[in-house]
Structures are given as C-alpha cells and as structure tokens.
Amino acid sequence: MHYCYLSTPIGELLLAAEAGELAHIGLPTDGAPAAPKAGWQADGTALTRARRQLAEYFSGQRTVFDLPLRLTGTAFQRQVLAVLRDIPYGQTVSYGEIARRIGRPRAIRAVGAANRRNPLPIVIPCHRVIGADGSLTGYAGGLPLKAALLTRERADATAAANPNAAPHPHRTACEPPRLHRSARAIAKAR
C-alpha cells in the first residue's frame, strides 16, 4: 500500500492507495495525523488524483468525487457504503433512512456499525449520516469535525443556490463549528 499526507483545513489526512485505487483515508485525531500501517510505503505520486479532488472539495469547488476506490468489508458493509455515496452534498440522512434504502429497515444498528467502518471518510460521506432526531452522532474524526464538514457543505450548497450572496467564511477555512445542542451534550458526555 502506498501512502501520502494531504494538508487540509481540518488537519493532515493520511491517504493510502493500492493498485491505483484509493483504499484508506485516515483522519487526524486530537490534531495529530493518522499513522501509516506497518509495511506501507510513502509515495505521493500514486495519489495525485485523490489529492487534487480532496483539495477541490476543501476549496468548495467539488461536491462529488470521481476516484477509483478499493472497498473492502462484507457485502452488507459495501451496500451501506454504496448508499452513503448517493447522499447529496450539503444534505443529511438518518441511519434509519439508510437502512430503509438498502431494504433492511430494522438494521439501523448494523448500518451504524458499517458506517463506523468506512475506510474512506469524506470521499464516502459518512459524516452526512445523523440521528433520527437530527442530532449529530459518532464520527471517526469526532463530532466537532463532523459538524465542521456539514457546516462547510451547507454553506457551499446555500452559496451555490444563491450566487449573489456574500461568500461564506467556511469556503476557505474550517472554523470551529457551532454544534447542534444534542451534539454538544454527546461531546460533553465523552
């Protein structure tokens, strides 16, 4: 597996590819970049396209990714990941809605587990999945990061719908988010 780091407004992302397919995105934790696994080789040339598309995403110029992906996991997990890819930029859906879309309306917890195992956060937008009551729920990068990504996307989507509006400050930088009241309570409980 070949890897490189990408500097973004949310910190250093670890990108890893195998056979030309993006296989892993590691989110920073507590400001520190994710570490590559043993045996991975540093090589940014294999990830040029992924780096470019993620940079475009963070600059507000990209809403959909067009990358070759190496998806692993069970058939159920891959089914959930496929549905996650269809969630439009700037919008959210609940875990229950994902379960309904895959034809397993009672599999809400299993959908949550598959969502947590997403090896390609941001590109496969698991941050767009929220609780049934609209609250932010778990995210590998933490709830503040999830809130920041959603705030950025909603601002960009609003700006695209209203081109005469002033640019939103999150278009160029990820400022500390204002968490939904439920997310703030969850973050304090940790």
Which phi and psi (to 5°) does residue 77 adopt? -60, -40
DSSP summary character for residue 60: T
Find the mean pLDDT for residues 21-43.
93
Alpha-carbon span 90 to 178, nearest angstrom: 16
pLDDT at 189: 37
Which strand (E) or helix (H) includes residue 14? strand 11-18
Number of Cα atoms under 13 Å in the Cβ half of residue 51: 16
> Which residues are identified as catalytic?
126
More confident residue, 34 or 182: 34
Q: Residue 74 above 80 pLDDT?
A: yes
pLDDT at 163: 62
pLDDT at 103: 96
Q: Residue 32 above 60 pLDDT?
A: yes
For residue 187, list its beta bridge partners.
none
Find the mean pLDDT for residues 94-121.
95
Q: Residue 14 above 80 pLDDT?
A: yes
Lowest mean pLDDT among 9-13, 30-34, 65-69, 89-93: 30-34
Q: Residue 164 above 70 pLDDT?
A: no
Kindly list the structural domains of the chain, giving each domain's residue range(s) and its CATH number in brackets, ordered by start: 2-58 (3.30.160)
Alpha-carbon span 152 to 186, nearest angstrom: 21
pLDDT at 168: 44
